[in-house]
Structure 1
Amino acid sequence: MKLAFLYAGQGSQHAGMGADLYEQFSAFRRVFEEAAQSLAFDLKTVCFKDPDGVINQTQYTQPCMVAFAAGVTEVLREAGIVPAYAAGLSLGEYSALECAGVFDAKTAVELTAFRGKAMAEAASGHDCGMTAVMMLDRGTLQRCCEQASALGVVQICNYNCPGQLVVSGDQAAVNRAAALARDAGAKRCIPLKVSGPFHTSLMHPAGDALRERFADVNFAPMKFPVLFNCLGREKSEEDTIPALLERQVQSSVYWEDTVRRLAELGVDTAIEIGPGKALSGFVKKTVGSAITCHTVETAEQLTQLLTEMREV
């Protein structure tokens, strides 16, 4: 078995996530409490109850998701379950790097709290949109975006899997690109609820802010390879992690390419860590049964996974 950990990105969060894990796993609880110390809000209250309805706001979502992922990673680590590779969708890349030992959970949560705030500030004042485009090839959609760019910024922000691309940017330009995509043969164009034009050039201010923040962060060597969103593969010797993370926030996420690369590397088993099972769906649509996926969101799922892994 060659194992990869896959970390969910923003969008799958919900109130109540992690509450059962906190109660049943001491390793999860320890990491979660350590992470909470670095935040200006009550992490447990937002994750477990969200009485003020803020968990879907970027500056809250990102540290909550990373704290959740770090807790699950620690439970797996204590059980001796360590991947050969890791990758994460957008925000999830920080969890993958934490798993690989680049920084600890507390630092990962601090960085993503900063990232979430920087992204929210970069999005402020923009009438932005994001639309999933189904069953249209990359080249055709790229041409649609180029034509629609006369109305503003619009770019392919996510290459999720075959038949599912996402465009983001200025609302008018996104709407025009979607209309052109439908005319070009897209099966469906589905507007998504987002708070910013993420993974487009409009996030350049967030990238600048991250570059300044990273100057004070110690990035340790990776204990195993992480595949990076903006590359769709492992980094080269010339690439630096801070530069890739700065680039990531303002450029496309090549998730389909990442999954194909994992299969090329011989990965046959993946554990999706985080709420939801979107990544497992993307894996199946990209490489079929070549990679078997397990999802971990609840204490019951984690307990079952630990049992299965002991029997391997």
Structure 2
Amino acid sequence: MSIALVFPGQGSQAVGMGKALAESFPVARTVFDRVDAALGEPLSRLMFAGPEAELTRTANAQPALMATSLAVVAVLQAEASFAVTDAAFVAGHSLGEYSALAAAGAFEIETAAQLLRLRGEAMQRAVPAGEGAMAALLGVEEEQARAIAAEAAEGEVCDIANDNGGGQVVVSGHAAAVERAIALAKARGVKRAVLLQVSAPFHCGLMAPAAVAMRDALAAADIKAPVVPVVANRLAAPVTTPDAIRQALVDQVCGTVRWRESMRFMADAGVTEFVEVGSGKVLAGLVKRIAPEAQARSIGTPDDIAAFRNR
């Protein structure tokens, strides 16, 4: 059986995430301690106890989700004798790509934490509150969603942020343009079109200032070749060199997360089991729509670790 590890993105955070891992496994506690030290604050305390509103802030949610994912990776190796190098590929949804890269040794946990804190802050600053929005179109494929977004733009920004597969496409941009996209989608018989509760319009042209900030930060970051292929969001194909990783991460800020194509790439390359590593079960659910021939499981708790060890 060929396994791919996939790492969740923003929206999968929840108060209490990682707490049971930290209490049960010293290697997990070490990961959280390293992230706390890198950020100069007790992020793990916020993760374990909230408040939820503070954890949900982009600048906190991004490194917090990475920390939980990397804690699971550490426990899998220590308790289940499963190393990242046992996977055929790794990939992550949006910020999860940083988790995947850190798991694959492209950069240290501390570097990932600092880059994600900067990324979250830069994304939040890029667009004044209320000027941007995101919406999920359900029951639509990428080509139709792209046509809807293009018509809705009317000189503003309305881009495809995520092609999540299974008929789920997310648009992002100016608030008025996104509202027009919702109306157009409904008029054209799209099953459902709803605004998302997000703090900024991610993965669209309005994020250009954040892309500049990440370009500068990534240029200065110590990045190594990953020990397993990392399937990049923007390419739906592996990146294997430090320069390619930097470019993919910069392009990702404004570009579409091509998750459907990334998952199909791995499945077509022989992956038969996708293991979602970290908080939540969103990605495992998407596997069932994109690659129904493959198995999927989520690992985020001590019980999940035990089940994986005994599989």
TM-score by length of 1: 0.94
1:2 matched to 2:2? The reply is: yes
Structure 1 residue runs without a partner (length 5+): none
Superposition deviation, residue 76 in structure 1: 1.5
Matched, 1:235 2:239: yes
Q: For residue 193 of structure 2, what is the amino acid of its counterpart?
A: C
Aligned with 1:276 (options 275, 280, 286):
280
Aligned to 2:114: 110
Q: Post-superposition shift, 1:237?
A: 7.0
Q: Does 1:304 align with 2:307?
A: yes
The answer for the alignment partner of 2:88 in structure 1 is 84
Structure 2 residue 58 is the aligned partner of structure 1 residue 54? no
Q: Is the 8 A contact 1:136 1:185 kept in 2?
A: no
Which deviates the most, 73-82 or 193-202? 73-82
When structure 1 is superposed on structure 2, of 231-240 and 273-282 the one drifting more is: 231-240
What are the within-5 Å matches in structure 2 for residues 56-75 of structure 1?
56-75=56-75
1:296 counterpart letter in structure 2: I
Note closer, same or farther for the CA distance 1:238–1:115 as it changes in structure 2 (3 Å cut): closer
Superposition RMSD in Å = 1.6
Match of 2:225 in 1: 221
Instruction: Note if contact 1:4-1:270 (Cα within 8 Å) is conserved in structure 2.
Output: yes
Once the two structures are TM-superposed, the CA of residue 214 in structure 1 deviates from its matched residue by: 1.4
Is the CA contact (8 Å cut-off) linking 1:4 and 1:269 kept in structure 2? yes
Tell me the CA shift for residue 307 of structure 1: 2.3
Instruction: Give 1:287 shift.
Output: 1.3
State the match for 1:26 in structure 2. 26
Residue identity in the other structure for 1:188: R
How far apart, CA to CA, are the structure 2 residues paired with 1:182 and 1:159? 19
Partner of 1:11: 11
Q: Identity rate of aligned residues, in percent? A: 36
Are residues 1:263 and 2:267 paired? yes
Matches of 1:296 and 1:163, distance apart in 2: 25
**1:12 & 1:56 partners in 2: Cα distance?**
10
Amino acid at match of 1:307: N
Q: Aligned pair count?
A: 307
Matching of residue 209 in structure 1 with residue 209 in structure 2: no
Deviation at 1:125, TM superposition (A): 4.4
- Specify the alignment match of 2:142 in structure 1: 138
Match of 1:164 among 158, 161, 168: 168
Query: In 1, distance between residues paired with 2:66 and 2:140?
Result: 32
Amino acid in structure 1 at the alignment position of 2:68: F
4+ runs deviating over 4 angstroms: 236-239
Answer yes or no: is the 8 Å Cα contact 1:151–1:172 preserved in 2.
no
Quick one: which amino acid aligns to residue 298 of structure 2?
T
Cα distance per residue 1:129-175 (max 9 Å; x no partner): 11110112222221211111116211111000131111111110001
Equivalent residues in 2 for 1:243-258, closer than 5 Å = 243-258=247-262
